Amino acid sequence: MTDLLAVRDVTKRFGGVVANHSVSLAVPHGAIVGLIGPNGSGKTTLFNSIVGYHPIDTGSIAFEGREISRLRVPGIARLGLVRTFQQTRVFNKMTCLQNLLVSVPHVHEGLAAMCAGQPPAVMARASEILRLVGLQEHTEQHAGDLSFGQQKLLEIGMALMNEPRLLLLDEPTAGVNPVMIESLIALLRDINARLGLTLLVIEHNMRVMMQLAGHVYCLAHGEVLAQGSPAQIAANRAVIEAYLGAQP
Ligand code: ADP
Ligand code: MG
């Protein structure tokens, strides 16, 4: 079967910096695929290329066999390819519910739902997603008053409002306390298993990766250094050396 996402030989330069060099990776339907690599190895750049944030220099990116590397963010999001950010992006002065309502692809629908007295479909979906991410008791709370981990849950909820088929998560557990990390792992496994959502996850924490991913790619200096099961990657000499070498 065609992979849901196929990245082939993608190179992306910023001036003299080669952020990604001939990167290839595949994300099968229904999988959770991991992406690791030291800081500056090109992980976020690859996400930005996949979701159409910037054009690639060479290579191809196919979603369900369809070339998408010339499309931009809105067109790619409409196909069901959505990302979250390394730096959490929620609207602090809005409630959790409002954050979800303004995250729908057609924002006017969300705004209408916010102003309307009766609950249209988008409102029902927002309530369902608040329950799914475990924030139903915080519906009317300002996002700025949530803990950092809860903001991460909210951000995943905001991405889910777009009804993604492939969700790209950029370091979802970074800076999150251990208890909340367990909640995040449970949520990601749940949306994968129950909603059938395919995930590509950037994550430094190998313990988290072990619990989540079936297959892991490791980037170093913009190139794929290794790929395999989480256990194979954790034991891979070159991967260990890339991480040790990256430490100050
Ligand atoms: P990672 O997410 O693995 O830490 P990044 O993809 O953010 O790595 O960065 C890879 C390299 O590309 C770094 O050298 C970084 O400085 C560079 N880079 C990333 N984005 C830009 C940009 N918009 N302009 C210039 N250089 C960039
Ligand atoms: Mg990054």
Q: Which two structure tokens, joined as six digits, stand for 6?
A: 């196929």
pLDDT tens string 4-52: 999 999 999 999 999 999 999 999 999 999 999 999 999 999 999 999 9
Q: Which among 17, 20, 25, 51 is the best mutation to test ligand 1's pocket, defined by most ligand atoms within 8 Å of the CB?
A: 17
Q: In sequence order, what are the residues at sequence separation of 6 or more whose Cβ sits closer than 8 angstroms to the Cβ of residue 248?
A: none
pLDDT at 84: 85
Is residue 14 within 6 Å of ligand 1 at its C-beta?
Answer: yes
Per-residue pLDDT band for 168 (boundaries 50, 70, 90) equals: very high
Per-residue pLDDT band for 245 (boundaries 50, 70, 90) equals: confident
Query: Exposed, middle or buried, 219 (CB in 10 Å: 0-12/13-18/19+)?
Result: buried
Ligand 1 atom showing the smallest separation from residue 39 Cα: 4
Return mean pLDDT, the chain.
92
Residue 153 CA: distances (Å) to CA of 30, 70, 196, 213:
21, 31, 18, 19
Is residue 240 within 6 Å of ligand 1 at its C-beta?
Answer: no
pLDDT at 91: 92
Q: Which among 43, 45, 225 is the best mutation to test ligand 1's pocket, defined by most ligand atoms within 8 Å of the CB?
A: 45
